[in-house]
Amino acid sequence: MSYGALSAEAIQAMNLGAKQGDFYHNTGEGGISSHHLKHGGDLVWQIGTGLFGCRDDNGRFSADDFAKLANLEQVKMIEIKLSQGAKPGHGGVLPKAKITDEIAVIRGISKEHDCVSPPMNPEFSTPLELLSFVSKLRELSGGKPIGIKLCIGNPAEFLCLGKAMIETGVFVDFITVDGAEGGTGAAPVEFSNRLGLMCLEGVYFVNNVLVGLGIRSEIKVIASGKTASGFDIVNKVAFGADMVNAARTFMMSVGCIQSKQCDTNKCPTGIATQDKNRSKAIDVERKAKRVASFQHHTLHSFYELLGAMGLDEVYKLTYNMVKRRTPNGMLESNTHTVPELKTKQLLNDALP
């Protein structure tokens, strides 16, 4: 949901809605714009592989530029995007037609060609280098929470990251687990359809690994990937998430009709375009109320479901409360399929 992919009016509506509803607004990888700051909603600054907003002329990390933005009061957390569910292992693309003078300045890019994010972050290539980068961002931001976003591909790579955190004593504050079902207008279809774990599988795996390594209490887990209803939140929290993100459904609350014109700059609703004649159709004040209303009613549905399950606290929601139908028609608990690890079980020989 970056500025550039989305119009200024769409960004403002979402940020104002987040302020009215008292929840945060993730910037997406396109950097922080004046439109993110205009209405005062809390921000999670996402830093993608292009380092937009904190890159020098050579495309490498600029500590000074990062510090200026990271220390803004509205910025509450910083999220390093390693990969995205809809395009793991592939950078995003902002077509040349959508790059205005303002966007070029914000991102630190040229207007003369498409903006293509690299598949990997240029500042690190190993778990230890990543954690060193996390420490640097934490210091430059004055101690604000620093986390990562990823879609699980090779499980061994995540286990390596967990091992590195134990060895160094440097922990990320949160991990946003994106699912392969996530959507974007900036991904090849083959990547969207074929790569990465689905959100529930990824969240369960990440939670299980952190428990098995004995570091779950150090790290919050955020679930992303096609959150549309109260039951989606129930499912993701039951599988191990502390919080849940939503993206596409908030675009729909602003008016997205999924016309799939994101890359043409001709979005008919004015959301995914930089054409002012189209984006002026968005009434920021009215759409912001819809953003806040969607979040409020989705949470209301979530709490109603908890009550129907006989629960009075979110933390009492557990994995075995969600049932699934097997191919032979039997109804069983998820615990029959994948065993839950005990604390520090991965650090000894008592493996299942």
Locate the DSSP E strands across the chain: 25-26, 43-47, 75-81, 93-94, 115-116, 146-150, 174-177, 220-223, 243-244, 323-325, 331-333
Contacts of 22 (CB under 8 A, 6+ apart): none
Mean pLDDT score, 103-126 = 92
Contacts of 334 (CB under 8 A, 6+ apart): 239, 319, 320, 322, 323, 324
What is the pLDDT, as a whole number, of residue 77?
98
Least confident of 4-8, 131-135, 210-214, 317-321: 317-321
Which of 38-42, 108-112, 199-203, 223-227 shows the highest mean pLDDT?
Answer: 38-42
Mean pLDDT score, 270-290 = 96
Higher per-residue pLDDT: 86 or 221: 221
pLDDT band at 330 (very low <50, low <70, confident <90, very high): confident
Interior CA angle at 91 toward 87 and 97, to 5°? 110
Count CB neighbours of 217 within 10 A: 10
C-beta of residue 235 within 8 angstroms of C-beta of residue 200 = yes
What is the pLDDT, as a whole number, of residue 181?
80
Place of tokens 């002012």: 276
What is the pLDDT, as a whole number, of residue 185?
60
What is the pLDDT, as a whole number, of residue 180?
82
Give me the DSSP letters along 318-349: -GGGSEEE-TTS-EEEGGGTSPPPPTTGGGSS
Mean pLDDT score, 270-288 = 95
What is the pLDDT, as a whole number, of residue 107?
93
Distances (CA, A) of 305 to 140, 246, 292: 42, 19, 20
Residue 88, pLDDT above cutoff 60: yes
pLDDT band at 62 (very low <50, low <70, confident <90, very high): very high
Mean pLDDT score, 121-127 = 95
Mean model confidence pLDDT for the chain: 92
C-beta of residue 49 within 8 angstroms of C-beta of residue 121 = yes
What is the pLDDT, as a whole number, of residue 331?
79
Residue 218, pLDDT above cutoff 60: yes
What is the pLDDT, as a whole number, of residue 324?
81
pLDDT band at 191 (very low <50, low <70, confident <90, very high): confident
Domains of the chain: 8-347 (3.20.20.70)
Give me the DSSP letters along 70-124: HTSTTEEEEEEES--TTSTT---EE-GGG--HHHHHHHT--SSS-EE--SS-TT-
Mean pLDDT score, 65-94 = 89
What is the pLDDT, as a whole number, of residue 187?
64
d(CA 246, CA 228): 7
d(CA 8, CA 280): 9
d(CA 254, CA 281): 11
DSSP 148: E
Residue 86, pLDDT above cutoff 70: no
Q: Note the pTM of the prediction, 2 decimals.
A: 0.94
What is the pLDDT, as a whole number, of residue 186?
58
